[in-house]
Amino acid sequence: MYEIFEFLDYFHVYEAFFNINIRFRNLLTISTLPIEINISSMSKLAYQRYYKDIIMTNTNQINSLRLSNVFIYDLISSSIEILSEFLQLKRRILDNIESKYLEKLLVQLISLPFLSSLIISSVDNIKNKNVIYHQIFRLPSLKYCKLSLEGYSHNDDPLSLVTNDHSSIEHLIINNCIYLDELNSLVSYVPQLRQKYCMQQAKIHPPGSSYLTYVSLELDDINFDQFEHLVIDLFATIQVLRILIKYNTDIAYVNNNRWEKLILSHMLNLRIFDIRHENCPSNITVNNNSNYNPLTLDN
């Protein structure tokens, strides 16, 4: 029976089997297998029943928990302490979360010893993203983090450079605008970083990371000279570099000679280089017939 459950959403299993008889009810409430909970498209009444019958009775078996329904956060805010009881939780997804709940939720996650994956998307503007970053960096076992936080953060209280409190994150995706000078502090928290994806603006002189091998960037308001400083300071060990340029008129980005010099001088480990320039000037030819210019280097 458990083999069948593995192919179905647990909420659908609950709705189909919970009220058939006591045997099925026990299978669902006294489970010994890892459980993945996805709370998205359900009514408030359905969630309240599901919370009481399944979530509360299986806190030690739930290893993945996804919340993606706005009203759910309001319902759980009064009992948010329950999150610290999910001791086997490894993956947490918070979709469309309001900023007023996010900080409280993150505080509870600190006590989870096995949480290794965290995905967050906010539905409204975050007043101070650096507070959120700092809380995330305190999570003891986090390896993968993907953030899509609304609002601009250049006027936030600055995130101080790390001293002893290093994060365990190896894969970091930031799908919101971030100024390059903010990355100086962010990178100092993640010395184990292997992959980084960011949308970026402005200028930075960050410390290097000896583990960083994969970087994907969207560059809007940074010229090629500034980008060169970023490469020199941070990208000595990268093997894959992918760049998307949407709103940048600096034609140096399509200058093959400058790229060749930069790569051969400062990215000696680079194997794959992909650049996409969506608004390339008409008098610049990239790959002859396409705005997509992939370059592969074999070492």
When mean pLDDT is compared over 84-98, 211-225, 246-260, the highest value belongs to: 84-98
CB 176 within 8 A of CB 156: no
- Structural domain boundaries, residue 168: 2-216
Beta strands in 108-205 (DSSP E): 117-125, 144-150, 171-179, 195-201
Q: What is the CATH number of the domain that holds 90?
A: 3.80.10.10
d(CA 266, CA 232): 6
In a domain, residue 80? The reply is yes
In a domain, residue 283? The reply is no
Tell me the pTM: 0.77
In a domain, residue 229? The reply is no
In a domain, residue 100? The reply is yes
- Residues of the chain with pLDDT > 90: what percent? 27
Burial of 23 (0-12, 13-18, 19+ CB in 10 A): exposed
CB 112 within 8 A of CB 88: no
- How do residues 111-133 score in pLDDT, each as one tens digit? 899 999 999 999 899 988 888 99
User: In terms of DSSP H, where are the helices of 89-153?
Assistant: 99-109, 129-137
In a domain, residue 108? The reply is yes
What is the pLDDT at residue 169?
93
d(CA 252, CA 283): 13
In a domain, residue 249? The reply is no
In a domain, residue 244? The reply is no
d(CA 60, CA 42): 23
For the chain, what is the domain count?
A: 1
- How do residues 133-182 score in pLDDT, each as one tens digit? 989 999 999 999 999 998 765 555 666 665 567 889 999 988 877 777 77
In a domain, residue 292? The reply is no
What is the pLDDT at residue 164?
66
Residue 231: phi, psi to the nearest 5? -60, -45
